[in-house]
């Protein structure tokens, strides 16, 4: 066991239930990346551990890789380099295209998808998109981009498709196998015969199987592809790996390096440091993977009157939140302001309260006991932290 309260996690290092249970004092898992697939989020919620990620800092690096692949594949640069190294001089315009005038389909209009679309539009591409989130649809329309009714329509009406989706959709359903079932074979079906038909996946390895993409490329449905993520990846640099597309010259592969630039890593370090400092000093919550894009925090009103901030992670059982307020009142303290958020998918909630005087250890224990009495659940209070000063 360890007495660590904060765990910083890089890309592929797994945080399992066993890891969480080996850290009885753990309060935060801070991911130094976007993806949270390798964290047992339910185990964290069960033990009152908040999980933060960084959804923005590596965006520019990924976007530039998208642009590089779009142009590189459109001009067959990777294949041509390999041929030139054999001593051959095959100068031809066969299957070489400008991106200008082509239709780019963007699956997922988040930060990276939106930024990719804006740059590609400046290159003269027409933008179509598919995203089930209402906010994303509104943003896309504001930019003048064309929404599609389905993923199938997006693929059929695009010359190139780039994928930028999270592990779960807006309804919190898994996006695993989102592109299985023949979706990849639909690319460019409603476009001219000489469509470049390019597919990029720099997002999630589990959106399609290796067999799905191999089948589409071998059938000619996808003329060229670039992949940066895979269903199974090595845990670390230098580990053995078998390239599943090694025999397909039309598929460009990279080892999950979309965010691996000299510029992105310092940005990630700065953001996760700020996120953790805000939580540590004021109890503020942002970039929480339990509810992406949700922000919780107390304002600066009556700051001088605040004696402590209580951050309570608790179950969503009825009566738990009220028992916290009752315990604060019973201790003779005043609740100056508070914010609350339920994360129903994980059966957990966060309550942040500014009180005029700190609670003693015995009063904090009474708070836990009262929540257990009201709800009948010994795990009603998952974790409690008091920030004084």
pLDDT per residue over 160-214, tens digit each? Answer: 999 999 888 877 788 999 999 899 999 999 999 999 999 999 999 999 999 999 9
CA–CA separation, 384 vs 27, rounded Å?
9
User: Is residue 180 packed enough to be buried (19+ CB in 10 Å), middle (13-18) or exposed (0-12)?
Assistant: middle
pLDDT of residue 195: 96
Mean pLDDT of 209-229: 97
The DSSP secondary structure of 205-266, one letter per residue, reads GGGS-HHHHHHHHHTTSSSEEEE---SS--SSTT-----TTTT-TTEEE-SS-TT-STTHHH
DSSP 355: E
pLDDT of residue 284: 94
Please provide the average confidence, as pLDDT, over all residues in the chain. 94
130 neighbors 151 (Cβ within 8 angstroms)? yes
Residue 208 sits at φ, ψ, to 5 deg, of -150, 160
Cβ neighbors of 275 (< 8 A, separation 6 or more) are 30, 52, 54, 286, 287
Domains 59-253 and 298-389 share a fold: no
CATH top class, domain 59-253: alpha beta
H helices present in 54-110, as ranges: 59-74, 77-84
Mean pLDDT of 110-119: 96
Q: Is 349 helix (H, G, I), strand (E, B) or coil?
A: strand
**Cα Rg of the chain, angstroms:** 25
Domain 1-56+260-295 annotated CATH 3.40.50.720: yes
Token pair of 172 as six digits? 């919190």
pLDDT of residue 36: 86
Q: Range with the lowest mean pLDDT among 98-107, 229-238, 271-280?
A: 229-238
- The answer on pLDDT for 1 being more than 90 is no
Taking only the tens place, the pLDDT of each residue in 251-302 is 999 999 998 999 999 999 999 999 999 999 999 999 999 987 788 998 776 6
- The answer on pLDDT for 74 being more than 70 is yes
- The answer on pLDDT for 356 being more than 70 is yes
pLDDT of residue 165: 94
130 neighbors 150 (Cβ within 8 angstroms)? yes
- The answer on pLDDT for 216 being more than 90 is yes
pLDDT of residue 302: 67
Taking only the tens place, the pLDDT of each residue in 321-337 is 999 999 999 999 999 99
* CA angle at 60 for the pair 185 and 38, rounded to the nearest 5°: 65
Token pair of 135 as six digits? 């906010």
Fold of the domain built from segment(s) 298-389:
Alpha-Beta Plaits (3.30.70)
pLDDT of residue 301: 66
- The answer on pLDDT for 12 being more than 90 is no
Taking the domains of the chain in order of start, what are their residue ranges? 1-56+260-295, 59-253, 298-389
Gap between the terminal Cα atoms of the chain? 30
68/35: higher pLDDT: 68
């Amino acid at each position: 066991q360890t007495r660590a309260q904060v765990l910083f996690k890089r890309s592929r290092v797994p945080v399992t239930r066993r890891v969480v249970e080996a850290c009885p004092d753990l309060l935060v898992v801070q991911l130094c990346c976007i993806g949270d697939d390798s964290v047992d989020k339910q185990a964290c919620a069960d033990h009152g551990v908040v999980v933060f990620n960084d959804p923005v800092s590596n965006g520019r690096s990924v976007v530039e890789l998208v642009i590089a692949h779009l142009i590189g594949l459109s001009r067959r640069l990777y294949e041509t380099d390999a041929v030139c190294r054999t001593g051959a001089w095959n100068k031809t315009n066969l299957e070489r295209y400008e991106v200008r005038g082509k239709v780019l389909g963007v699956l997922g209009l988040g930060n990276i998808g939106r930024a990719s679309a804006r740059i590609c539009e400046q290159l003269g591409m027409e933008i179509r998109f598919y995203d089930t989130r209402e906010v994303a649809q509104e943003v896309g329309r504001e930019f003048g981009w064309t929404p599609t009714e389905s993923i199938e329509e997006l693929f059929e009406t695009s010359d190139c498709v780039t994928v930028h989706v999270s592990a779960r959709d807006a309804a919190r359903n898994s996006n695993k196998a989102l592109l299985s079932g023949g979706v990849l074979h639909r690319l460019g079906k409603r476009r001219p015969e000489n469509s470049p038909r390019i597919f990029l996946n720099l997002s999630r390895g589990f959106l399609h199987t290796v067999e799905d993409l191999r089948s589409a490329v071998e059938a000619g449905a996808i003329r060229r592809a670039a992949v940066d993520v895979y269903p199974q990846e090595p845990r670390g640099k230098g580990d053995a790996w078998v390239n599943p597309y090694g025999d397909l010259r039309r598929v460009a592969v990279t080892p999950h390096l979309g965010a691996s630039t000299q510029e992105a890593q310092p940005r990630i370090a700065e953001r996760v440091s700020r996120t953790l400092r805000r939580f540590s000093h004021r109890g503020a919550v942002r970039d929480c993977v339990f509810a992406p894009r949700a922000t919780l925090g107390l304002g600066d009103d009556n700051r001088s009157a605040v004696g402590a901030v209580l951050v309570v992670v608790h179950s969503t059982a009825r009566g738990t939140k009220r028992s916290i307020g009752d315990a604060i009142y019973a201790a003779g303290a005043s609740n100056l302001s508070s914010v609350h958020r339920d994360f129903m998918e994980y059966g957990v909630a966060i309550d942040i309260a500014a009180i005029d005087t700190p609670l003693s250890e015995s009063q904090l224990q009474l708070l836990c006991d009262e929540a257990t009495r009201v709800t009948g659940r010994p795990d009603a209070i998952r974790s409690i932290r008091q920030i004084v000063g």
